[in-house]
Amino acid sequence: MPDPRKSALEPMLRKLEYGAFLNGEDRDALLSLPHMNKTVEAHTYILREGDKPTHACLMLSGLTYRHKIVANGARQIVSLHMAGDLVDLQNALLGTADHHVQALTRSDVAFIPLEAIKNIAFDRPAIGQAMWYDTLVDGSIFREWIANVGRRDARTRLAHLFCEYALRMEAAGLGDHNEWELPMTQEVLADCTGLTPVHVNRMLKSLEQDGLISRTRRSVTVRDWKALAAAGDFQSAYLHLPAHKLALTQ
Amino acid sequence: MPDPRKSALEPMLRKLEYGAFLNGEDRDALLSLPHMNKTVEAHTYILREGDKPTHACLMLSGLTYRHKIVANGARQIVSLHMAGDLVDLQNALLGTADHHVQALTRSDVAFIPLEAIKNIAFDRPAIGQAMWYDTLVDGSIFREWIANVGRRDARTRLAHLFCEYALRMEAAGLGDHNEWELPMTQEVLADCTGLTPVHVNRMLKSLEQDGLISRTRRSVTVRDWKALAAAGDFQSAYLHLPAHKLALTQ
DNA sequence: CGCCCATTTGACAGCTTTCAAATCGCGTGG
DNA sequence: CCACGCGATTTGAAAGCTGTCAAATGGGCG
């Protein structure tokens, strides 16, 4: 058995502890899960629609996203994932993947056998509850995205996406909500928000000219968090982050 | 203990058995869950954003929907629910509701104490897995809705919604996928698809004029399922329905 | 019969897309 | 160290899908 204190699976603990209290044995069991580490290059498909996955995918570093392709060829990104996220529990547990999972940047991931996940979830109720909770938070974010692309205008959508991304990155210990890396093209932002890259560009300019953000090529600085959150109709409750993770943005 | 064979909770079994094999004891345990039946009138709020629910809500008859209100006052419906659906497991397990749940029509529902749900889910792995699976299918439908409102044009969105609704109603034993009740105003359809009621009206007319559907005041008849599915870019995999439920539409 | 809400219709406005072209940024090779 | 090349970004003009506004029509219920 690997030494839990050195397990590569550490990043998973933080998120799972949002949803349940894990004791020492639970933590050891989680960190001792069998897994295979792998580095995937940017743009690599980790899973395709229709696949029958045998492993779940845990993010260790980098960014990945899930997306669907509709009839006219357009792509809709349905979620972004960062270190600590169990990206693919949904596809894995449902049996057949109903969407694609792809690397946005070079990423380190750990593949954990589905059987091991199921066993630990049902042998250890606290872990099972934590994993269930985690997939429910994913669901909550999906609901907010439906509202975002369905009922908000372009500028609001983009501001909302930024606020969500900033808070999640900060909660994951990957940055400050007021300044973060944004390693994605405007085309990716467009596919997250249901817009065109051209219009994303215009809205970025608008947010910048109004003094809400400033940008360099691959990073964003928030100049006025409150104004950005207001512009994005952003309220963080749907992220279901623990209170101490939200202190800085209140 | 109530006689399981007469439990009002029967409609729940069908859906849960999609996700796991339940033995006799599991079924008895499920049907013996403590619950309180209630009839809610159309338009009644079952739960509001911010509430801390103590019960989950199982649909026995009628229709309910979940929705969010954005800053400009617009409403986005994020899901529709019919008999057998555990509408509110998400809000219940997450602790604080991040969206509203409201009755679309007069509905019979059963409120099941959250503690009883948690206990049965972790005492009986098959049930826990089935419930988890059920919430994952909800998540899959959310993802499809993101793509629907994000990347499909108005006519396609509406056709897609109809196909989904038809198949779910049929799977729930509430109608035929080629002819079903549609007890909702065009405003509700608009809030499901991120459109305006006026434009929904135009698209309905378009679908009708093209011979894909015909309508009476509160019901829809599909004239050409294949054409409707094509018009709606609809493929049913994301519903994760068992094969035997799909036979008629292949 | 009359009221009220939902549906339908038309004209017009506007947000977003489309199409193209120019500019910029950055890694590569001379 | 600088020129080159390619993808990403930026910009402009015009088209189009969808929204807005308003009014007419229709259907159900008291």
What pLDDT, on a 0 to 100 scale, did the predictor assign at position B92?
A: 85
pLDDT in tens, B184-201: 999 999 999 999 999 999
On chain B, the residues whose CB falls within 8 A of the CB of A66 are 143
In terms of Cα–Cα distance, which of B72, B197, B212, B193 is closest to A156? B72
Residue contact B147–A66, C-beta within 8 A = no
Q: Which amino acid is at B206?
A: S
Alpha-carbon dihedral of residues B130, B131, B136, B138, nearest 10 degrees? 120
User: What per-residue confidence (pLDDT) applies to A88?
Assistant: 83
Any strand D atom closer than 7 Å to B199 CB: yes
| Closest chain B residue to A195, measured at CA | B150
Give the gap in angstroms from C-alpha A176 to the nearest C-alpha of chain B: 25
Residue A19 confidence (pLDDT): 87
pLDDT, tens digit, 9 for 90 and up, residues A74-111:
999 999 999 999 998 988 899 999 999 999 999 999 99
Asked if A78 and B156 come within 8 Å (Cβ–Cβ), the reply is no
The confidence band for A5, taking pLDDT boundaries of 50, 70 and 90, is: low
pLDDT of residue B233: 98
Asked if A240 and B147 come within 8 Å (Cβ–Cβ), the reply is no
Contacts of A139 in chain B (CB under 8 A): 90, 135, 138-139, 142
Q: Are A115 and A207 in contact (CB under 8 A)?
A: no
pLDDT at position A249:
62
Mean pLDDT of chain B: 93
Q: Is B70 on the interface with A (CB under 8 A)?
A: yes
Does residue A2 surpass a pLDDT of 50?
A: no
User: Rounded to an integer, what distance in angstroms lies between the CA atom of residue A166 and that of residue A219?
Assistant: 11
Q: Which residues pair with A56 in a beta bridge?
A: A112
Question: Is the CB of residue B199 less than 8 Å away from at least one CB of chain A?
Answer: no
Inter-chain CB proximity A151 and B70 less than 8 Å: yes
Taking only the tens place, the pLDDT of each residue in A188-207 is: 999 999 999 999 999 999 99
Interface check B68 vs A, CB under 8 A = yes
Output the pLDDT for position A4: 46
Cβ contact A132–B133 (<8 Å): no
pTM equals: 0.96
B52 has a chain A CB within 8 A of its CB:
no
Burial of B54 (0-12, 13-18, 19+ CB in 10 A): exposed
Distance from C-alpha of A238 to C-alpha of A144, rounded to nearest angstrom: 7
Q: Which of A51, A75, A73, A50 is nearest to A65 (CA)?
A: A75
Nearest CA in chain B to A240: B94
CA diameter of chain B: 56
pLDDT in tens, B67-99: 999 999 999 999 999 999 999 898 889 999 999
Domains and CATH numbers, chain B: 4-144 (2.60.120.10), 153-249 (1.10.10.10)
- Map tokens 């994020």 to a residue: B78
pLDDT at A139 over 80: yes
> Is A86 in contact with A131 (CB distance < 8 Å)?
yes
Helix (H) or strand (E) holding A155: helix A154-171
Residue A142 CA, nucleotide C21 C1', distance (Å): 38
Q: Supply B135's token pair.
A: 């919430």
What Rg do the C-alpha atoms of chain A give, in angstroms? 18
Rounded distance between C-alpha atoms, residue B170 and residue B176, angstroms: 5
CA distance B145 to A99: 13
Contact residues for A234 (Cβ-Cβ < 8 A; gap 6+) = A159, A160, A163, A164, A228
Over the stretch A222-248, which tens digit does the pLDDT of each residue have? 999 999 999 999 999 999 999 877 765
Strand C contact at CB of residue A151, distance < 7 A = no
